[in-house]
Amino acid sequence: MSNPLASDLNALRQVVEKSARHGRYAQTFHLVPPVGWLNDPNGLCQLGDTYHAFFQYSPFSAEGGVKMWGHSTSSDMVRWSYEGTALYPDQPVDVGGVYSGSAYVEDGVMHVFYTGNVKHEDEDGYDYVNTGREANTIYVTSTDGVNFGPKKLVMGNADYPGDDTEHVRDPKVWRDGDTYYMVQGARKKDDTGEVLVFSSPNLVNWELCNRITSNTRFGYMWECPDYFELPDTGEFARHEVVQVLSVSPQGLHGGDWDRRNVYQSGYFVLLGDVTSICTLFPFALWDAGFDFYAPQTFQTDDGRRILIGWMGMPDEKSYTNLTVRDGWQHCFTVPREVSAKNGRVLQWPVRELESYRTNEQRVSDTLVAKDMRAFDLLVDGIDANEPLTIVLANQLELTWRDRRFEMRFTDEDMESVGAGRKSRFEFLDELRNVRVVCDVSSVEVFVNDGELTFSSRYYPVAYGIDVMAPGAEISLWDLEAEA
Ligand code: FRU
């Protein structure tokens, strides 16, 4: 490492990682930072037989700090090994942080694009929205995810539309025919969020080809955009593929938004051509739980579309994570297979997780279990006219009543199982099945084959599962993924 800033950051990172311990809330099959803070999934891809996941990483504080790209690998998306840090903020074009981005793989080469964040010294009273900030689009390649070539600046503020603010970021790249495409999230000067679409013949020269926003203003900034197409498998499918534009909008207020998270992540089904003329269907949430933001997808070599989210929430002051006292905060969701059926987008934990199931129990109507810390619970064949209750760790209630599915912590104290979390709910026409995938300090709920999910961190004192589901079939497995 020839750059002295990068080599010192590397040395310091290794020092803090050496003394790190995850403590009582250590996860067993969720990707976590070795120490400090993690946010967005970045550069998700498969190279040969290995899955690579990079993450926004601030090793020096559990409350965040300067961003670099941590790197983990896996052969099955369940057991992850930390490999070190891939990209440091060590150049004038990214010195304020190696922000989020993606990896596009072609012929064994990872083509990585990310935002080099720069914040200028505040001598002129910058607001860092319209002034004082650089959002540099940087391109770098690697054949192993460990060693990277030189950083190449391919776009800067002057290359983005003049009516955008200096908030443009999070490039996601794909290829269609002979052309490469890139989406970036942006905040316009009139405080509306939008997605910029660029095209390139060679990954180096990029040209703006489309700007996408909703008919009516939908928040002030759209972060972490992603675009992909899913074959529709349903017998009532109206289109061969469902086109999905995923965004994480900030600034949604009023109506139902006030009872939800500070920021949202969801998708618009899109009709038309993402690179020229298209229209957006109404926004749908990826996840209605407390901790889910900035998801990214990639395609595996066997053709599956995999989504991983950040199981955390920025700028949320009303609840916390009890792992901070052990020097770390946040994790990724379990990787989820995304598919479409009859126009609906579904999420389901990667099938590889099922090979870690052991000690199967199968019962009807009710189930009580104790001391299971990592488990997979499936409640199927639900009678939607009957109320249903699942209680985890005595304090987290999942209920179905009056067409409403709710995730609620019964104790709202900052030191309780929910660490300040209260209630999240959505209205559904029916309830057919519920799957709950729990690790030591996380809960992911998949409702109706994954039409809706609820993700949350939780901090049990005593582990326990109580299911009351009259008429339903209940299956429960331990998940033994710990090495
Ligand atoms: C989303 C985000 C991205 C940005 C990154 C910085 O959580 O704000 O827009 O690139 O985090 O860590």
Q: What is the pLDDT of residues 217-227, one digit of tens each?
A: 999 999 999 99
Q: Give residue 284 CA to ligand 1 midpoint distance, Å.
A: 21
Q: Which residues pair with 106 in a beta bridge?
A: 109
Q: Given the CA of residue 100, which atom of ligand 1 is nearest to it?
A: 10
Q: Give residue 266 CA to ligand 1 midpoint distance, Å.
A: 16
- 2 confidence band (pLDDT: 50, 70, 90): confident
Q: Determine whether 176 is an active site residue.
A: no
Task: Assign domain 355-479 to a CATH class.
Answer: mainly beta
Q: Give residue 331 CA to ligand 1 midpoint distance, Å.
A: 15
Looking at residue 482, its pLDDT comes to 81
Q: Which of 306, 253, 261, 221 is nearest to 454 (CA)?
A: 261
Which tops the pLDDT comparison, 3 or 182? 182
- If phi over 0 gives left and psi between -120 and 50 gives alpha, with beta otherwise, what is residue 317? alpha
Looking at residue 239, its pLDDT comes to 86
Q: Which of 435, 423, 424, 422 is nearest to 473 (CA)?
A: 435
Q: Is the pLDDT confidence value at 266 over 90?
A: yes
Looking at residue 122, its pLDDT comes to 82
Distance, CA of 376 to CA of 332 (rounded, Å) = 17
Q: Which residues pair with 139 in a beta bridge?
A: 113, 152
Query: 4-349: which CATH topology?
Result: Tachylectin-2; Chain A (2.115.10)
Distance, CA of 238 to CA of 248 (rounded, Å) = 27
In the chain, % of residues over pLDDT 70: 100
Q: Give residue 402 CA to ligand 1 midpoint distance, Å.
A: 37
Return the ∠ at Cα 77 (arms to 72 and 82), rounded to 5°: 15
Q: How many CB atoms lie within 10 A of CB 24?
A: 13
Do 159 and 167 contact (CB within 8 A), yes or no? Answer: no
Q: Which residues contact 478 (CB under 8 A, 6 or more apart)?
A: 357, 358, 359, 372, 374, 375
- If phi over 0 gives left and psi between -120 and 50 gives alpha, with beta otherwise, what is residue 365? left
Residues in the ligand 1 pocket, defined by CB under 6 Å: 39-40, 56, 67, 99-100, 115, 169-170, 223-224, 293-294, 314
What average pLDDT does this structure show over 129-141? Answer: 97
In the chain, % of residues over pLDDT 90: 96
Do 441 and 393 contact (CB within 8 A), yes or no? Answer: no
Which residue is catalytic, options 8, 40, 273, 302? 40
pTM above 0.95, yes or no: yes
To test the ligand 1 pocket, which listed residue (99, 114, 313) has its Cβ within 8 A of the most ligand atoms? 99
Q: Given the CA of residue 248, which atom of ligand 1 is nearest to it?
A: 1
- pLDDT digit string, tens, across residues 276-291: 999 999 999 999 999 9
CATH 2.115.10.20 domain extents, the chain = 4-349
To test the ligand 1 pocket, which listed residue (137, 195, 223) has its Cβ within 8 A of the most ligand atoms? 223
Looking at residue 124, its pLDDT comes to 75
- pLDDT digit string, tens, across residues 393-408: 999 999 999 999 999 9
Distance, CA of 14 to CA of 115 (rounded, Å) = 24
Q: Given the CA of residue 101, which atom of ligand 1 is nearest to it?
A: 10
Q: Which two tokens stand for residue 107?
A: 């012929």
Please give the C-alpha separations between residue 368 and each of 74, 363, 400, 440, 463, in angstroms, as whole numbers.
Answer: 34, 10, 18, 18, 11
* Per-chain mean pLDDT for the chain: 97
Looking at residue 1, its pLDDT comes to 64
Distance, CA of 35 to CA of 12 (rounded, Å) = 12
- 96 confidence band (pLDDT: 50, 70, 90): very high
Q: Is the pLDDT confidence value at 235 over 90?
A: no
Q: Give residue 218 CA to ligand 1 midpoint distance, Å.
A: 19
Do 311 and 245 contact (CB within 8 A), yes or no? Answer: no
CATH 2.60.120.560 domain extents, the chain = 355-479
